[in-house]
Homo-oligomer: A and B are copies of this chain.
């Protein structure tokens, strides 16, 4: 149980005390991450960066992921911003454009060095690293850790999204800022009550000023949730006066004013926000220490054709425009202007952030490896 009552002032240990979390600037590696839309990856080698690693995706008989670097002279297969360097001379293989080294997609093994002839003695002696890759929910999932995945991809996708009746729309965009700031912003108890107050989403909704927060782990042991009680609206602040001022058009209930709506977070950095009848899931995928990929998945559960049509229209016209453009862009704005490293001074609602950090510190898969590596470096 990592929860707190949310009403005692939080004295946060400096970030140096979060050994694992502090060392994970480029992300936690022993997890599956969504790195691309399935429909976007075809026969053309495509570059993605995940946890600081350059990776090339290419579709053949199935989807493959390889280290984006020919071991001969180190040119990137993807071209590194120039046209793709890898060619597809043989099915199931990738050829480096520079000298004709042919790699088997399945194993990463050098299958031929064309310009050294069929008897080239280097064949079979060189390998390119391959990455485990899967496709689910219309997206490509990649395992950036060393060796074989310790869990199947389903272990890292919220099971709601894998349900047969899930109707899913997803979008993705690159964003400035470390993935941890983005995750913390997502689960942050208080920012929605101020930052998003003037978003279009809130024009007709009364956003509360504050509430009591309860933090708890869901029965599945994965999600950390924060519940609300004692929801307050207009208040008198000593020396300042009443706040906020609601105009008369604010007649709708805002999700953050509903006790039933509990926002949740889980490793390696996934947010879940339930709305009436549908939910948003957000991934903050680590690209490198200064950049992350924001992946938004919107889901509704239904098999009825009429409901699916309404959901399509609701997503296409309302969510995609209003939610993403205005509300999520406010988050991206703040995450993008937070300095790379800085002191921090927490207040009571930040108990949500410290609970999240504690969750990472105590349950992350690669906990021991990273902390031992950190300790070794310190000695």
Contact = CB atoms under 8 A, between A and B. Distances in A.
Interface stretch (A271-279, A292-300, A338-346): A338-346
Interface in A179-229: 188-191, 193-195, 209-210
A238 B111 CA distance: 8
A71 B16 CA distance: 18
Contacts of A210: 114-117
A215 to B, nearest CB: 15
A44 to B, nearest CB: 16
Contacts of A114: 193-194, 209-210, 237, 243-244
A113 to B, nearest CB: 5
Contacts of A244: 114
A102 B235 CA distance: 15
User: By CB atoms of chain B within 10 A, which of A102, A113, A244 has the most?
Assistant: A113
A173 interface: no
Contacts of A358: none
Contacts of A101: 347
Interface residues of A, number: 69
Contacts of A98: 191, 194-195, 334
Nearest to A336: B82
A210 B113 CA distance: 10
A148 interface: no
Nearest to A334: B98
Contacts of A71: 343, 345
Interface stretch (A89-97, A136-144, A154-162): A89-97
13 contacts: A71-B343, A74-B343, A75-B337, A85-B337, A97-B334, A101-B347, A114-B194, A116-B190, A117-B232, A117-B235, A118-B235, A118-B236, A118-B237
Interface of A: 9, 69, 71-76, 79-82, 85, 89-90, 93, 95, 97-102, 111-118, 120-123, 126, 188-191, 193-195, 209-210, 232, 235-241, 243-244, 333-334, 336-339, 342-349
